[in-house]
C-alpha cells in the first residue's frame, strides 16, 4: 500500500523537514511503507483548499493521510496499521465520538460546550512536545464513530472521488473536520477510530476565539444543528 501524507505548513520545505514535528518522523515510516509527501509549504490558504487539491491530484488507489504539521508519528508501522484499519472503516482517525447531537460544536464535548461526552468517546492522543508529553485517553478503540478529530484522517482517494466528498472551503480551519465527517456519513462512508501512535503538540481548545465563533456560525447555518 502506498501512502500520501498531505499536510500544510507555514514552514518552507527545508524548515519543514528540519524543524516541524511531522517532517523528521516520516523517514522511519517510509522505511517500511512506500510514502509520498504532498506538502503545501509556506501555506496561506485555508486548509480545505489544500486538502481538496491533493484529492484532485491523487490516483484512485492512493491512501491519503491528512495530518497537521505539528504531529509526530510515534509508530513507524503506520502503513501496516492503516492497511488494517481501512479494511474495517472508510475514513480512519485517532480519536472521535460515537454520536452526533444537535448543538454539538466539537467532537469532544456535549452541546453545553464544557462537559466531555465521556461515554461516547474513542481513541487516544499523546499531547505536548517530545520530552514533555502526556497521554490523553478518550475511550476504547477501534470503534465506529460519527465524528473524528481532524488532526489525522486517512481515506482511499478513490472513495472521495467516487462519492464527491470534499472539504468545504467555507471553513478555513475550525469545523472543517466536523463538516467533513458529516458529509462523509451523508454519502455512506463508515468512520472509525484506530489505535495509531501520534504526538500532537497542540492541546486543542480555542473555542472562544473570533475565528472559531465565525466558523461555528457557518457550521450551524449549513447543517441547521
Give pLDDT tens digits for 172-215.
889 999 999 999 999 999 999 999 999 999 866 667 788 889 99
C-alpha cell at 219: 457550521
Contact 89, 190 (CB under 8 A): yes
Of all residues in the chain, the percent with pLDDT exceeding 90 is 88
Q: How would residue 129 be classed by pLDDT, with cut points 50, 70 and 90?
A: confident
Per-residue pLDDT at 225 = 83
Query: Which secondary structure element, helix H or strand E, spans residue 212, and what is its range?
Result: helix 210-223
Q: Kindly tell me if the per-residue pLDDT of 171 is higher than 90.
A: yes
Domain 3-223: CATH architecture, name and number where available: Alpha-Beta Complex (3.90)
Q: Kindly tell me if the per-residue pLDDT of 169 is higher than 80.
A: yes
Q: Which residue has the higher pLDDT, 124 or 103?
A: 124
Of all residues in the chain, the percent with pLDDT exceeding 70 is 98
Q: Which residue, 108, 85, 97, is CA-closest to 1?
A: 85
Strands (E), the chain: 3-8, 35-40, 63-67, 71-73, 91-93, 95-97, 121-129, 132-139, 143-145, 147-148, 152-156, 191-193, 198-200
- Radius of gyration over every alpha carbon of the chain, rounded to an integer in angstroms: 16
Per-residue pLDDT at 1 = 72
Q: Coil, strand, or helix at residue 210?
A: helix
Q: Coil, strand, or helix at residue 5?
A: strand
Per-residue pLDDT at 70 = 96
User: What does the pLDDT average to over 88-97?
Assistant: 98
Q: What's the CA gap between 51 and 53, in Å, rounded?
A: 5
Q: pTM score > 0.75 for this model?
A: yes
Amino acid at each position: 500500500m502506498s501512502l500520501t501524507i498531505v499536510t500544510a505548513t507555514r514552514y518552507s520545505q527545508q524548515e519543514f523537514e528540519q524543524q516541524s514535528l511531522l517532517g523528521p518522523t516520516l523517514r522511519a515510516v517510509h522505511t517500511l511503507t512506500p510514502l509520498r509527501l504532498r506538502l503545501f509549504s509556506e501555506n496561506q490558504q485555508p486548509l480545505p483548499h489544500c486538502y481538496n487539491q491533493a484529492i484532485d491530484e491523487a490516483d484512485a488507489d492512493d491512501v491519503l493521510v491528512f495530518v497537521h504539521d505539528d504531529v509526530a508519528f510515534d509508530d513507524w508501522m503506520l502503513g501496516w496499521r492503516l492497511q488494517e484499519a481501512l479494511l474495517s472503516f472508510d475514513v480512519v482517525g485517532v480519536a472521535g465520538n460515537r454520536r452526533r447531537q444537535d448543538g454539538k460544536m466539537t467532537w469532544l464535548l456535549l452541546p453545553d460546550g464544557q462537559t466531555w461526552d465521556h461515554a461516547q468517546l474513542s481513541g487516544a492522543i499523546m499531547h505536548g512536545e517530545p520530552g514533555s508529553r502526556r497521554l490523553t485517553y478518550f475511550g476504547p478503540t477501534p470503534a465506529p464513530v460519527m465524528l473524528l478529530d481532524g488532526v489525522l484522517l486517512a481515506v482511499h482517494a478513490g472513495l472521495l472521488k467516487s462519492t464527491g466528498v470534499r472539504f468545504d472551503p467555507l471553513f478555513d480551519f475550525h469545523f472543517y473536520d466536523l463538516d467533513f465527517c458529516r458529509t462523509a456519513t451523508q454519502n455512506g462512508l463508515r468512520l472509525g477510530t484506530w489505535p495509531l501512535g501520534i504526538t500532537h503538540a497542540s492541546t486543542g481548545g480555542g473555542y472562544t476565539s473570533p475565528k472559531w465563533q465565525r466558523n461555528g456560525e457557518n457550521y450551524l447555518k449549513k447543517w441547521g444543528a
